[in-house]
Amino acid sequence: MHIDLRTVAITPLRNTFDHIARRIGADKAVSRYQEGTLDIQPSANLQYRPTWDPTHQLYDPARTALVMQDWYAFKDPRQFYYGTWTLSRARMQEAAEAGFDFVETRGLADLMPDEVRRRALDVLVPLRHVAYGANLNNVGMCAYGYGAAVTQPCMYHGMDHLGIAQYLTRIGLWLAGPAELEDGRSHWLGDGRWQPLRRQVENSLVVKDWFELFVAQNLVQDGLLYPLVYAHFVDRRLNAEGGSAVSMVCAFMNEWFAESTRWVDATIKTAAAESPANAALIAGWLAHWRGRVREALLPVAELAFDQCGEQLLDTVTEAFDARVAKLGIAVKEAGHV
Amino acid sequence: MDMNVKKKLGLKEKYALMTRGLGWETTYESMDAVFPQTRYEGIRIHDWDKWEDPFRLTMDAYWKYQAEKERKLYAIVDAYAQNNGHLGVTDARYINALKIFLSAVPSLEYNAHRGFARLGRELPGVGPQIACQMQAIDEIRHAQTQIHSLSNYNRFYNGFHDWKHMNDRLWYLSVPKSFFEDACTCGPFEFIIAIGFSFEYVLTNLVFVPFISGAAYNGDMGAMTFGFSAQSDEARHMTLGLEVIKFMLEQDPANLPIIQAWIDKWVWRGVRLLSIVAMLMDYMLPKRIMSWKEAWEVYFEENGMALFKDLARYGIKVPDCVELIKKEKDHLSHQAWNAFYTAGKITNFHTWLPTEEEMDWLSSKYPDTFDRLYRPRFEHYRELEKQGKRFYNTTLPMLCQVCQIPMMFTEADDPTQISYRQVTHQGDKYHFCSDHCQHIFEREPDKYVEAWLPAHQIWQGNCFAEGADPTAPDFDPLKSVLDYWHLAYGRDNLDFEGSEDQKNFAAWRAQATRN
C-alpha cells in the first residue's frame, strides 16, 4: 500500500539563481553541477595586474590561442563538482584498496615469476614521475585556464594523477620495497630508455598555452600511454604471463582512463566545434605532440614488449587516431607546426 | 594511509616516498623555466627538502575522509530544504546575513581555489605543492557547499538571486573582491602569507565564529552544517599557513623584513574586511553569540597575540595596526551599520533599526561608546521613521583607494572626525581611510592605482545598464545603476519593515505552524 507523506508546501519565488536561469531557462530543473560550476569564476571589473604575468588580467581568456564565445560551453559529461568527484573517487579507492588487500594478504607477489615481476617494476615504477608531471600540468591548467567549466575538472584530473602516482609508488613498495623506488628514479634520471619520455614531460612543463598543454598532456600523452601501458602491457601481457596480481592493483588506472576520456573528448570536441580556427589550432598541436609523444614512448614500449614494442605502439596509435577522428579534428602526419 | 610492505616503513618515510619522492631536478628544461615565479619577490629558499609536511595525507585517504564528510553534509542540506528548515530560523531578519554571505564568500573561496592551484603548480618543493593542491580543492569545495546550502534560501527570499553578477559589480562587494584579487595578483610567497597565514590563521576564527555559530544560534541548520563540515579542512589550512611562514623564516634571515611587511599589510587588509562581520555580529543576528568587541578580544587579542609570541623568536613583531584596531573595536560595528542603514537603497539586503532591547544589549557591550555616540543617532533615525521619513543617503560615498570601504571610520582619538588621508601620485589625488591603507598604497602605488572603485566608476559613467543613454532627458542614473547591478528595487533593498521577505516569512511560518 502506498501512503502519501504530506509536507507543508509553499510555493518558491524562483527556481534557481539568475545567472543559471539566463543560461538554462528559469523553469528548468537545475543540478548541483550547474549551480556549483556555471559562471563561478570572477569575470568582470578585475582589479590589479598580476605581478607574475603583467600582460594579462588575473582571469584572462587570452592565456591560450583558443577562442571561445562562451567558456561555459564546456561541459563535463561526468558532471563532476567536488562532491560527486570525491564520492566517485572514494568508491574507486575502496575497490583499489580491496585489490591491494587481496594481493598482499595472499602473497601474490611471491607467486609471480621473477622475470614478470622484474618487468612490471621496470615499466611501472618510473611512471610515477610521469604521473606527477601530469599532476603539475593539470593543476597549472586549472590555475591559468579560463572559466570554471573547464578549469574545475582540470584540477580534479590533476589530483587523480597524483593518486595514480601514489598507487604506482605503492605497487613498487608491494613488489619490491623502497630501494626499488630509488632504482626506478635513477632509471628515470639516467637510463637512456627513459630519457626521451623525461624530455617530453619536461618540455610539457614549460608549455605556456594552457589549452595546448591540455592537448599535449590529456589528449595525446595520456591517450597513447594509458592504453599502451595499462591495457596492453598490464592487462594483456602481464596477465598472460602470470602477473595478474599487477592487473588487480591497476584497476583504478584502467577505470579512470575510460571515464576521464569521456571528459577529455567532450572538451576537445566542444573546442573544435566552436570554429574552424579552433579546429585547425588543435589539429596543429595534435600533430606536433603526437609525433613527439610517440618518439618518447617507443623505448618504453620496447621495454614492455621487447621487439614487438613498435608494433604495439602502432596499434595503440591507430586506435588513438580513430578516437581523435571522431572529435572533429583532422589528424595530420607527425611533424612540427 | 594503510600500507603493508615487507619492510616496515615509518609513516614519515612512507609519506615522503608518496610525495617528494615523485619530484626530480629537471635537466632538459631548467628548474627556473619550470618554476618561473619563485625568485622575483626576493624570498630566498635554499633547501625545499627542509619543508616539514604538516599533515601526511595521501590521495586515497583524502578521498575517503572527504567523501564521508560530503555524504553527511548533503544529507543534512537535503533534509533541511525538504523540511522547509528556513521557517525555523529565529527571525527573518537573520536571512539578510546569509545574503551578504552568499554574495561575498563563495567568490572568495573560488579565488582561494585558483590561487592555491597556482601555488600547487609553482612552488618548487613537492611537499608544499601538494599541500597547496589539497587546499585548492578544499576551497572549491567550500565555494560549492556554500552555494548549494544557500540555494534553497534563494528560492524563497529576495537578494540572493544574482549573487555572482553582483559580486563582480555591487559597490560594497568590491571590498572582499579587491582583497582577494589583490592577494591572487601577488607573487606566490606573498599570496600564501596573505591567505594562508594572515587570513586563515590570524583571522579565520573571526569569520567562522560569527557566521557559523550565528547560524547555529539562529536555527539555521543549513549554514551551520557547511560551516562545521569545513572546520577540519580549515584546521589543515591553518596548519599549512603557519608551517609556510616558519619555513620561509628559517630558510634565510633576509626573508624576515619582506615577510614582516607582508604580515603588516595583510593583517590590516584582513581587519578592514572584517568590518562587515563586526556589524553582522552586533546588528544582524537576532540571537547574538557575543559582541564583536568580545570576539576580537578572545580571537585576536588573546589567541592571535599568542601566535605572534610564538613567532617572536624569528624576529616577527606584532603589526603596528593592532594599536589602532584596539581603539576602533568600540566603534567599528556601529559605524558600519550606520553606513549600510543609510545606504539601504543600494544594498541587496534589508536594513533596520535595532529594537530598544537590542540597543540596551549594545549599551551593555559597549558602555564607553554606544549610549554616548551611536544611540542618539539611531534614535534620530527612529524619529524620522515615525514621521514617515525613513532616512536614505542619496549620494555615493567616497571610497578608500586600498580597502575600498566608504570613508566612514573616525579618528582613533576623536570620534567626531572622519579619518581621512590623501596622497598625490603622478598628479592624481588618492584618498585613504587610515594611515595603514595609505602606507600600503605608498609601498605599491602602481598596483593600487589600478583599483576598480565602484563609486568612482559610477561617477565616470561606467556602471549604467546595458544600452542606457545618459543624455536622454528622462535618464534616471540611480535606476540605471541598480539595473547594472541587477538589484530589484523594492524587493532586494530598502528597510526590512514592510519588505516582501518579512511578509512571506510571516505567512509561511503561520501556514507551517497553525491550522
Count, in order, helices (H) and strands (E) of chain B.
24, 4
Residue count (chain B) = 515
CA-based nearest distance B341→chain A, Å: 26
Per-residue cell: B485: 547591478
Cβ density class A97-126: b for 16+ within 10 Å, e for less = bebbeebbeeebbeebeeebbebbbbbbbb
Per-residue cell: A206: 614549460
| CB–CB contact B21 A83 (8 Å) | no
C-alpha span between B107 and B113 (Å, rounded):
10
Domains of chain A, with CATH numbers? 79-325 (1.10.620.20)
B40 touches chain A (CB under 8 A): yes
Residues A203, B28 contacting (CB under 8 angstroms):
yes
Chain B residues lying within 8 Å of A104, measured CB to CB: 4
The pLDDT of residue B2: 43
The pLDDT of residue B511: 87
Instruction: With respect to residue B136, please indicate whether it lies within any of the assigned structural domains.
Output: yes
The pLDDT of residue B56: 87
Q: What is the pLDDT of residues B415-461, one digit of tens each?
A: 999 999 999 999 999 999 999 999 999 999 999 999 999 999 999 99
Q: Name beta bridge partners: B411.
A: B414
Instruction: With respect to residue B116, please indicate whether it lies within any of the assigned structural domains.
Output: yes
| CB–CB contact B34 A128 (8 Å) | no
> What's the whole-model pTM score?
0.96
Among A182, A117, A152, smallest CA distance to A263 is for: A152
CA-based nearest distance A315→chain B, Å: 29
The pLDDT of residue B162: 98
SS3 A180: helix
Instruction: With respect to residue B22, please indicate whether it lies within any of the assigned structural domains.
Output: no
Instruction: With respect to residue B29, please indicate whether it lies within any of the assigned structural domains.
Output: no
Which stretches of chain B score pLDDT less than 70? Answer: 1-7
Cβ density class B278-303: b for 16+ within 10 Å, e for less = bbbbbbbbbebbbbbbebbeebbeee
Q: Which residue has the cell 558532471?
A: A79
Chain A residues lying within 8 Å of B68, measured CB to CB: 90
C-alpha span between B318 and B313 (Å, rounded):
12
What domain count does chain B have? 1
Q: Dihedral of CA B119/B125/B131/B137: which sign?
A: positive
**ipTM field:** 0.96
The pLDDT of residue B231: 85
B218 touches chain A (CB under 8 A): no
The pLDDT of residue B213: 87
Chain A residues lying within 8 Å of B40, measured CB to CB: 51-52
pLDDT in tens, chain A (337 residues): 666 666 678 899 999 999 999 999 988 889 999 999 999 999 999 999 999 999 999 999 999 999 999 999 999 999 999 999 999 999 999 999 999 999 999 999 999 999 999 999 999 999 999 999 999 999 999 999 999 999 999 999 999 999 999 999 999 999 999 999 999 999 999 999 999 999 999 999 999 999 999 999 999 999 999 999 999 999 999 999 999 999 999 999 999 999 999 999 999 999 999 999 999 999 999 999 999 999 999 999 999 999 999 999 999 999 999 999 999 898 765 543 3
Instruction: With respect to residue B36, please indicate whether it lies within any of the assigned structural domains.
Output: no
| CB–CB contact B59 A47 (8 Å) | no
Q: Could you tell me the CA-to-CA distances from B179 to B40, B122, B194, B219, B262 in Å, in that order? A: 22, 22, 10, 31, 14
Contacts of B168 (CB under 8 A, 6+ apart): A42, A43, A44, A45, B177
Q: What is the pLDDT of residues B373-390, one digit of tens each?
A: 999 999 999 999 999 999
* Angle value at C-alpha B31, between B30 and B33, nearest 5 degrees: 65
Question: Hey, of B140, B156, B508, which one would you mutate to test binding to chain A, going by the most A CBs within 10 A of its CB?
Answer: B140
C-alpha span between B452 and B7 (Å, rounded):
59
Residues B426, B435 contacting (CB under 8 angstroms):
no
Instruction: With respect to residue B21, please indicate whether it lies within any of the assigned structural domains.
Output: no
Chain B residues lying within 8 Å of A169, measured CB to CB: 17-18, 21-22
Long-range residue pairs from A243-248, CB within 8 A, at least 24 positions apart, any chain? A243/A112, A243/A113, A243/A116, A243/A117, A243/A119, A243/A120, A245/A103, A245/A108, A245/A109, A245/A111, A245/A112, A246/A112, A246/A120, A246/A124, A246/A171, A246/A175, A248/A99, A248/A102, A248/A103, A248/A108
Segments in B252-374 forming alpha helices (H): 255-273, 275-279, 292-295, 305-311, 321-328, 332-342, 356-365
Chain B residues lying within 8 Å of A216, measured CB to CB: none
CA-based nearest distance A45→chain B, Å: 6
Give the number of beta-carbon pairs within 8 Å between A and B. 249
Segments in B218-312 forming alpha helices (H): 221-251, 255-273, 275-279, 292-295, 305-311
Instruction: With respect to residue B264, please indicate whether it lies within any of the assigned structural domains.
Output: yes
Chain A residues lying within 8 Å of B33, measured CB to CB: 206
Domain around B351? 59-465+475-513
Question: Hey, of A31, A142, A182, A201, which one would you mutate to test binding to chain B, going by the most B CBs within 10 A of its CB?
Answer: A142
The pLDDT of residue A337: 36
Alpha carbons within 13 A on the beta-carbon side of A94: 9
Instruction: With respect to residue B23, please indicate whether it lies within any of the assigned structural domains.
Output: no
Among A232, A219, A251, smallest CA distance to A309 is for: A232
CATH of the domain at B288: 1.10.620.20
Per-residue cell: B425: 601620485
The pLDDT of residue B5: 46
Question: Hey, of B5, B111, B404, which one would you mutate to test binding to chain A, going by the most A CBs within 10 A of its CB?
Answer: B5
